[in-house]
Chains A and B, each alone.
Chain A
Amino acid sequence: MKLAATFRIALRALRRNKMRSVLTMLGIIIGVGAVIAMVGIGNGARAQVETQIASLGKNMILIFSGSTTSSGVRTGWGSAGTLKIEDAEAIAREIPTVASVSPEIRSTAQVAAGNQNWLTQLLGEGPDYFEMRQWEIAAGATFTEQEVRAASKVAVIGRTTATQLFGSADPVGQVIRVKNVPFLITGLLKPKGMSLMGSDQDDVVIVPYTTAMKRLTGDVKLRSINVQAVSAKSLPQTQQQITALLRQRHRIASGMDDDFTVRGQQEIAEMATATSKILTYLLGAIAFVSLLVGGIGIMNIMLVSVTERTREIGIRMAVGAHGRDILLQFLVEAVTLGCLGGVLGIGLGYAASEIISRLTDWPTTIPLFMVFLSFTFSAVIGIAFGLYPAWKAAALNPIDALRYE
């Protein structure tokens, strides 16, 4: 029999039991949907993380005060305040693979300009900070080495803060007050977007760390130190040397935990993507189980269908159908179930990843080959699980099939 006719018969049989067909396809629909959503979310998360890693800067190492390993419990990074300016200076001086260093102070602060108020992130940084993080200036200039040494009251502000305080007006040359201390704005930063932790990096006021210590926090402790290594290759070695140097400087006996944490850029990115990885694995597990259940569902329904239609099989055989014709008829039916489920699943997956993309701001993308792969896989499931029922139908004796009540 012609394949087109076989397809017509299969489609008609499926349409006759619409509800049953849809329920049978549900496993495949959910499975393929989960696969597509998983790939979409995974890709989106990866793309997001890549831009975020890039936004950290190049070959960056972050040193936080406070340990992550003491008694296995992570105390908050930067909470213990064990890092000092001298540590930063020693790192810059003594480790040859270090390109630049910027000590960091971080707090939240209420800033005011005219009658506008805004609660924002206050960073105290060194003069190299902007270059290290490849954070470009949109207008004006960053503060200089001299201004840092002199603890000048100058500030560079992010786009969000600028908009909140000045609207669309040019903030460069304006004065903002932080804790009643006036700062001259020397520069406006280009937008950098979301950080790996999900906060707005452009909601920021950056001042020299010296000024921050003297005028604002009154503290001599650093939250963290940003270090840039000379090359990606030297990163691990630099990290080790920093650890050794700081342990020595902090007089930490061997066997005792560090009172600081050194993290490479890659490690930080990996920690940040851990959640999206868990989500990906979870969806992967759902997909696998659903596809398996979907396949078994197809097999079950096809077996029921073969039993129900034993007389029909008998009639077809009586008028000349070969076993092969019957096999093909039921196989096409199973494959149609699989493929249709696959198509609906792909639609569901697209919808799900679109929704998640809207909720998380991840740019989810689904590669076309993944769509083809899911479709092909659905068809293969149809074949794999339809084969036994179809073979059972084909192996019937015409007279036994005709006698079947």
Chain B
Amino acid sequence: MAAVIRFESLSKTYRSGDVEVHAVRDVSFEVQAGEFVAIMGASGSGKSTMMNILGCLDQPTSGRYLLDGIDVSQLGRDALADIRNQKLGFVFQGFNLLSRTSALENVELPLMYARSPQSAKELHGRALTALETVGLGGRAGHHPNQLSGGQQQRVAIARALVNEPALLLADEPTGNLDSRTSIEIMETFQTLNERGMTIVMVTHEHDIALFTKRNVVMRDGVIVSDIRVPQRSVARDELRRLDAATKTAQLAP
């Protein structure tokens, strides 16, 4: 079976004036269908740069990026937009929701730009289903400023899922969230992964990376380690343990 993602000697160089920053240098790696990968590394090691290229938001300076066997580096703007719309779901650290727009409409956004037109009713139905998947069916009419950080990130995840992409990409999805909310997001990711979705996410937190199946560590734009997670954490169990601990704390005098 072909890899979902295949980087071949991929590099990205930023040039600002005379200064050249080699954010990603000659990286080759593959992700197979059904994997759940965490990309780790210190700040400035090139994680976001890699994610943006993975998400077809940015183009590599050199090398090839094959997505589902298609050389994405050769595609034009509109073709890339269609790939982002159909094949990928992207979750950002800062949520990137449209403010003053309801959760439901935020989730509808990718459907509105889908090339196959749908009725408004279909749109609502699918967006609502996606919101229910992330446990926010009851908050469809809420605006982002009426939702907690965790809830906003769930809306963003619902938006990423609404076109039923094969690949979910997330750049530090828990970076702005407290630890319990982070684990809840990981629970959602684990559930999605169990259902067959390929997920690649960036995190610099080790305990978060332990919820994934594979950890790729970057330093100065190169991959320095790529290991299978030996002992995965299960988010559902972690949450139960946290609940128990809270109860004990409350019972104590």
Contacts and interface: CB of A to CB of B under 8 A. Distances in A.
B78 A319 contact: no
Contacts of B114: 320
Interface string A308-341: 0001101111111111110000000000000000
B245 interface: no
Interface in A339-381: none
B113 A319 contact: yes
Contacts, number: 59
A316 B109 contact: yes
B71 interface: no
Interface stretch (B2-10, B81-89, B211-219, B223-231): B81-89
B113 A318 contact: no
Nearest to A320: B85
Contacts of B92: 402
Interface string B78-116: 100110111000101000111010000000011011100
Nearest to B97: A315
A319 B84 contact: yes
Contacts of A5: 112
Interface residue tally of chain B, by bracket?
20 to 34
Interface residue tally of chain A, by bracket?
20 to 34
Contact of A1 (B55, B98, B112): B112
A27 interface: no
Given A322-B77, A398-B57, A315 B98 contact: yes
Given A311-B96, A312-B98, A315-B96, A320 B113 contact: yes
Interface of B: 52, 55, 57-58, 77-78, 81-82, 84-86, 90, 92, 96-98, 100, 109-110, 112-114, 117, 159, 163
Contact of B100 (A16, A316, A320): A16
B77 A319 contact: no
A318 B110 CA distance: 9
Most chain A beta carbons < 10 A, residue from B82, B86, B112:
B112
A399 interface: yes
Given A322-B77, A322-B81, A399-B58, A316 B113 contact: yes
A179 B3 CA distance: 118
A399 B57 contact: yes
Contacts of A397: 58
A325 B82 CA distance: 12
A282 B132 CA distance: 64
A180 to B, nearest CB: 87
Nearest to A315: B96
A1 B113 contact: yes
B96 A318 contact: yes
